[in-house]
Amino acid sequence: MVIIFNYVPIFGWIYAFINYKPGVPIGKSTFVGLKYFVRVFTGVGDFWPALRNTLAISLINIGFSVVPVIFAIMASQVKIRRYSRIVQTFSSIPHFISWVLVYSVVFYLVASQESGVNKLLMKFHIISEPVSILTNVKIAWVVQACIVLWKTMGYSAIIYLAAMSGIDQELYQAADVDGASNFQKILHVTVPGIMPTYCVLLLLAVSNMLSNGFEQFWLFGNGLTWDALEVIDTYVYRMGIQNVEYSFAIAVGIFKTIVSIVLLSVANTASKIIRSESIF
């Protein structure tokens, strides 16, 4: 199944080197070499703004990646286990909700200037007048990153809680004997214990910097924020399906794949260097 769905489609890359038209056999299509790759690098069709948006949103998501770690540590410190399990369960539910439902919820909460979020922000004097959050292009990147954080934080925290359960309890006992405070045990035992898990998830996040989703931005994008929310996935769809430029869209997809592999290799090497391991 992995070969069928992940490797066989690679043969479709041949369409990036020919002037493909629907219904025309490959043998009768004109070979154009690197023509469409040149179009990618020359920025034809607003490719560079889409790349900028993709990288910016991904970097903000990576910056927010420490929040699930903090949330997991806080959940692990709750003494009432039943309450802790309830919090973990409800915080992980958004991970399993489709983006269509997420959009519906967010639209209901923040779309209008009379929404509950606007009233709450004004009550705490964070803003002086109502704002239209989903149509404000200046904060579009941060808003989308916050939505991703809300959707994934609980599920990510479960992974870190599982990593905490594997920490040797004798380390905590030794820390108690040495007179360590609760914060010191977290800093010197818990955090180093879950750091390998965090590094693995960080590597995956770096390798997927150019694949930050299609549904989210296709749903949340609108006429006022589209310049900030068009990412590579929506760009490929728009150029390939809507504009019927299949060859060019495939060339963009190849570029995305190659860059993702390079990013993963660089991040993996950097991780090994930071951990003082051999890079071979």
Residues in the chain: 280
| Ordered DSSP codes for 158-205 | HHHHHHHHTS-HHHHHHHHHTT--HHHHIIIIIHHHHHHHHHHHHHHH
Report d(CA 190, CA 168) in Å as an integer: 10
User: Which residue would you say has higher pLDDT here, 204 or 112?
Assistant: 204
Q: Say yes or no to pLDDT of 114 above 60.
A: yes
Q: Is residue 28 part of a domain?
A: no
Angle, alpha carbons 60-160-265 (nearest 5°): 55
What's the whole-number mean pLDDT along residues 27-53?
A: 83
Q: Would you state the pLDDT for residue 44?
A: 64
- Closest by Cα among 178, 177, 218, 190 to 72: 190
Rg, C-alpha atoms of the chain: 23
Convert the pLDDT of each residue in 168-223 to its tens digit.
889 988 998 988 888 899 999 999 999 888 988 888 888 888 888 899 999 998 88
Q: Is residue 25 part of a domain?
A: no
Q: Is residue 192 part of a domain?
A: yes
85-89: long-range pairs with CB below 8 Å, 24+: 88/154, 88/157, 88/158, 88/161
Q: Is residue 13 part of a domain?
A: no
Report d(CA 117, CA 123) in Å as an integer: 10
Convert the pLDDT of each residue in 49-69 to its tens digit.
999 999 999 999 999 999 999
What's the whole-number mean pLDDT along residues 150-154?
A: 91
Residue 70: which pLDDT band, with cuts at 50, 70 and 90? very high
Domain count, the chain: 1
Residue 280: which pLDDT band, with cuts at 50, 70 and 90? very low
Q: Is residue 87 part of a domain?
A: yes
What's the whole-number mean pLDDT along residues 31-47?
A: 82
Place of tokens 């910097």: 209
The SS3 assignment for 89 reads helix
Domain that holds residue 222: 34-274
What's the whole-number mean pLDDT along residues 112-127?
A: 77
Lowest mean pLDDT among 31-35, 110-114, 247-251, 256-260: 110-114
Q: Is residue 220 part of a domain?
A: yes
Q: Is residue 251 part of a domain?
A: yes
pTM given for the model: 0.84
Q: Say yes or no to pLDDT of 277 above 60.
A: no
Q: Say yes or no to pLDDT of 278 above 50.
A: no
H-assigned helices in the chain: 2, 35-41, 47-63, 66-76, 81-92, 99-110, 116-123, 140-165, 169-177, 182-185, 191-207, 215-220, 226-229, 232-237, 246-274
Residue 108 near residue 192, CB atoms below 8 Å: no
Q: Is residue 24 part of a domain?
A: no
Q: What is the CATH number of the domain that holds 132?
A: 1.10.3720.10
Place of tokens 């704002």: 131
